[in-house]
Amino acid sequence: ENGLDGWLRYAPLPSADSYHDGIPSKIVALNDTKISPVYTAGQELQQGISGIFGKELDVQYDDCTSFSSIVVGTVEEYSNGGGETDDIPELEADGFYLSVDGDSVKILGQNERGALYGAFEYLSLLAQGNTSEFSYASNPSAPIRWINQWDNLVSGGTHGSVERGYGGPSIFYKDGYIKEDQTRAAQYARLLASIGVNAVVVNNVNANASFLTEANMDGLKRIADVFRPYGVQLGLSLFFASPKDLGGLDTFDPLDESVVEWWHDVTDKLYRRIPDMAGYLVKANSEGQPGPFTYNRTLADAANLFAKTVKPYGGVCMFRAFVYDHTTLNQTLDWKADRANAAVEFFKELDGQFMDNVVVQIKYGPIDFQVREPVSPLFANLLETNTAIELQITQEYLGQQAHVVYLPPLWKTILDFDLRVEGQPSLTREIVSGARFKRPLGGYAGVANVGTNTTWLGSHLAMSNLYAYGRLAWDPTHSSERLVQDWTRLTFGLDSSVVDTITQLSLESWPAYENYTGNLGIQTLTDILFGHYGPNPASQDGNPWGQWTRADNDSIGMDRTVWNGTGFAGQYPAEVAAMYEDIETTPDDLLLWFHHVPYTQRLKSGKTVIQHFYDAHYAGSATAQTFVSLWESLKGKIDDQRYEEQLFRLKYQAGHSLVWRDAVNGFYHSLSGIADEKGRVGNYSWRIEAENMTLEGYEPYSVHPPSMASETR
C-alpha cells in the first residue's frame, strides 16, 4: 500500500460473503457518455463493489425501473426514464438523494455531479461496513468548494515546483510544460470528487503569464478534460500584468480599453477550449505581485474586470483578500504598523462594489495560516460581497507534513466562531455559505499542494486533512472526531483499535504542536525568512514578513487594542471587539495576539506567561513522544509499508519537538532572564552535544538559521 488510492481503496470487507444476498445484481447508470460524471459513477460503483464484496456487477445504461439494481443518475434522467420521483426531497445544486431499500438502491443527483457524489457516499458507507437501509438527501453547505494548487510551470526557484508543497514535484507540469500524460490529475480529481470538491485552481497564486500562451492553453485543456468526468472544473490563477508581459501592451491598467479587450480575448480563447472552466483566482498588489494600484485603480476595479470576462460563461472570479504592502510595513519606525489590519483597511470600503460573480477569498486569520489566529475580521465587514474562506491543507507553518497535525479542530475554532455582526448570531460558516448575508455565492478554498509522491501530500496521516477539508466544505457541522474516524476506517480498515489509536493521535496533534511551537497566541515561532519550518523566534520581529512578537527583556505580545495598540481589535463588531480589547476577557490562547504583557503576567490558570511557555513546550513535546508508542501499538494491524513510513516520521517528529521545545524555551529564558520554576530550561548537562563527539564521515556545516544549531540553545 503506497497511499495512492488515499481513502478510496475499497478494501475487502471482513465477512463480505454474508452480505452477498443483499447486494443488488446490477448497476444502472442513466448516462452512457464517457465524460459524464454519471457514467463515472457507474464505473466507480462497479469497482467499489467488486473490491468491497468481491462481487462483479454489470453496468447497464437503461431501464431505471428494473428490480435488484443500483440506479444512479440525475433526478431528471430518472424521471424521464419512468422513475417515481414524488418522494425525493427538493435538492440544491450538487445535492443528491440516496435510498437503500432491500436490494433496490437509488442514487439520484440534482445534477450529474450530485449523482457521482451520492455514489461515492454510498460506497463510503459500504466500505465502512454500513449495510443498513436508509434514505436521505444531502446538499452542500456552499457552492464554492475549491482546491488551490500553488504549482509553478517551471520547477526550481526558491520554492521548487510546488510553492509550499511537501509531496514532491507538480502532478501537472514538468520542465516548463504541461504534461501530456495527466493520469495523476485524473486520480486527483477522483479523490476530490469523492469528498465533494468541485474545482481546482491549477497554478500558483504567484502566477505566471506564460500559462496564457496558445500551447499552454491547449495543455490546460488536457487537464480540464481529465477532470471533467469527475465533475471537477478547472480554475486558473492570473498574473495581473500579463497584458504587458505577454500581450506586448504598454499598460496593464484594468480600466484601459486595450487591456479589457486583451483579457476578454484570452478568456474567450480559454473557454473555447474549456467550456466549463470554473473561473479565475487573482492575487494582486501583495508580496510583490502587480495590481491595480499602479494605475490608482481599486481592487474592485481589478476584480470586476475579470468577473466581466467570465460572466457570460457562468464563471467566477475569486479575488484574494491577502493584500498587504510588505514594502511599507515597518514596526521599528511605526509602533502602530500592523499587517493584521491590512485586509479590512483595503477591502471594507469596497463592500458593495464587487460584481455578483466575484468572491473575495479570505484567509482564516488576519496574518497567515498560523497555529492559532483569531478569525479574520474581514468576514464581518463585507455584508454586500460574496466571501469564501481560505484554509491551508498543506502544513506550511505547521510542520510541513513531517509532523502530524490534524487540522479540523483548528479550522473549527474559526468556522464556529460567532462574529456577532449587528448583534446577531453570525457564525463564520454561515457567512461563507452565503446564508448570513443572503449572498448568491460563497464557500471554501483549500490550499492543498499535493505532488507526485504516492502519498500525495508527502505523508500518509496528512491525508486526513485533505479528506476532512472536503467533508467540512460540504457540511461544516461534522465533528473533527467523526471525520478522522471515517477517514481511518477507509484508509486503514475497520479494526477498532486502529481507529481509536489514530483518532486519539490525530486529535492530540494540533494542541501538542501549538504547545511546542508557539502558544498563548504568539503564533508559530518558525523561522520566518526561509522555509517557515523549524524554530526561530528571533526572526519574527523587525521584518515585514514576520508575525511580530514584540518580545523584549521584560514583556511580550502585540498590543492590538484600540486604546493603546494597533487598533486591530476595533475591526470586529462591537461585542467581539469589547472582548478582545479587555485583557480580562481575552481568552488565554489569544492573549499575546492582542496584548503586550510582562512575562510575569498571571494567566487565568494562575501561572505566569513565562512559566506557561516553559511548561507548555515541555507538555507538547512530551505528547509528541507518545505518538511513537501509540503508532507502534498498530504493528501488524495495518500493512507494513504504511506502518514503517509513518513510524519513521513520527520518530522524527518526536525528536524535532524537542528541538522546538529547547529552542523556544531557551530563547525566552535568555531574553527574560527568568528561571524555570522546575529547573529544566537551560540545564542541559545531560545532553551529548554533536560537537563533543568524534564523528567519522561527517563534515562541519554552518547551520542556517544559526539558532537551529545545538550550541546556541
Residues identified as active-site: 287, 368, 396
Question: Phi and psi (nearest 5°) for 292?
Answer: -70, -20
Q: Give the Cα separation of 231 and 184 in Å (integer).
A: 16
- Residue (469 or 643) nearer to ligand BDP, CB: 469
- Residue (283 or 596) nearer to ligand BDP, CB: 283
- Check residue 206 for interaction with ligand BDP (CB under 6 A): yes
Q: Give the Cα separation of 18 and 383 in Å (integer).
A: 55
- Residue (287 or 481) nearer to ligand BDP, CB: 287
- Residue (114 or 518) nearer to ligand BDP, CB: 518
Among 205, 378, 415, 624, binds ligand BDP (CB under 6 A): 205
Starting at the earlier edge strand, list the strands of the sheet with 69-74: 58-60, 26-29, 69-74, 104-109, 96-101, 134-138
Shortest Å distance, C-beta 469 to ligand BDP: 16
User: Any idea which residue has 445535492 for its cell?
Assistant: 95
Shortest Å distance, C-beta 497 to ligand BDP: 38
Shortest Å distance, C-beta 283 to ligand BDP: 5
Shortest Å distance, C-beta 205 to ligand BDP: 5
Among 368, 486, 508, 527, binds ligand BDP (CB under 6 A): 368
- Check residue 164 for interaction with ligand BDP (CB under 6 A): yes
- Residue (123 or 205) nearer to ligand BDP, CB: 205
- Residue (118 or 366) nearer to ligand BDP, CB: 366
- SS3 call for 558: coil
- DSSP state letters, 350-399: GTT-S-TTEEEEEESSSSSS-SS-PPPGGGGT-SSSEEEEEEE-S-TTTT
124 grid coordinates: 463510503
- Check residue 543 for interaction with ligand BDP (CB under 6 A): no
Q: Give the Cα separation of 582 and 589 in Å (integer).
A: 14
Contacts to ligand BDP from residues 213-242, by CB under 6 A:
none
- Check residue 253 for interaction with ligand BDP (CB under 6 A): no
- Residue (77 or 151) nearer to ligand BDP, CB: 151
- Residue (83 or 544) nearer to ligand BDP, CB: 544
Q: Give the Cα separation of 224 and 235 in Å (integer).
A: 9
Q: Give the Cα separation of 559 and 586 in Å (integer).
A: 12
Shortest Å distance, C-beta 445 to ligand BDP: 11
Which DSSP symbol is given to 193?
A: H
Which DSSP symbol is given to 30?
A: S
Shortest Å distance, C-beta 173 to ligand BDP: 17
Among 319, 369, 487, 492, binds ligand BDP (CB under 6 A): 369
- Check residue 396 for interaction with ligand BDP (CB under 6 A): yes
Interacting residues of 365 by C-beta distance below 8 A, sequence separation 6+? 373, 374, 375, 376, 414
Contacts to ligand BDP from residues 376-395, by CB under 6 A:
none
Shortest Å distance, C-beta 206 to ligand BDP: 5
- Check residue 508 for interaction with ligand BDP (CB under 6 A): no
Among 9, 283, 436, 560, binds ligand BDP (CB under 6 A): 283
Q: Give the Cα separation of 531 and 548 in Å (integer).
A: 17
Q: Give the Cα separation of 456 and 283 in Å (integer).
A: 25
- Residue pair 187/4 in contact (Cβ under 8 Å)? The answer is yes
Report which secondary-structure segment, H or E, holds 146: strand 144-148
Using alpha carbons, list the distances in angstroms from residue 322 to 87, 156, 283: 46, 25, 7
Residue closest to 589 by CA, chosen among 568, 603, 574: 603
Shortest Å distance, C-beta 158 to ligand BDP: 9
Please identify the residue of the shown chain whose CB is closest to the bound ligand BDP.
368
Residue 356, amino acid = D
Among 112, 163, 581, 615, binds ligand BDP (CB under 6 A): 163
Contacts to ligand BDP from residues 310-329, by CB under 6 A:
322
- Residue (253 or 396) nearer to ligand BDP, CB: 396
- Residue (389 or 499) nearer to ligand BDP, CB: 389
- DSSP H helical ranges for 256-298: 257-273
- DSSP H helical ranges for 520-639: 574-581, 591-594, 609-632
Q: Give the Cα separation of 605 and 189 in Å (integer).
A: 47
What is the dihedral sign for C-alpha 456, 458, 462, 466? negative
Question: Phi and psi (nearest 5°) for 101?
Answer: -135, 100
Which is it for strands 358-363 and 316-320: parallel, antiparallel or unpaired? parallel
* Total residues interacting with ligand BDP, rule: CB under 6 A: 9
Q: Give the Cα separation of 550 and 559 in Å (integer).
A: 9
Shortest Å distance, C-beta 287 to ligand BDP: 6
Shortest Å distance, C-beta 510 to ligand BDP: 18
Binding site for ligand BDP (CB under 6 A): 163-164, 205-206, 283, 322, 368-369, 396
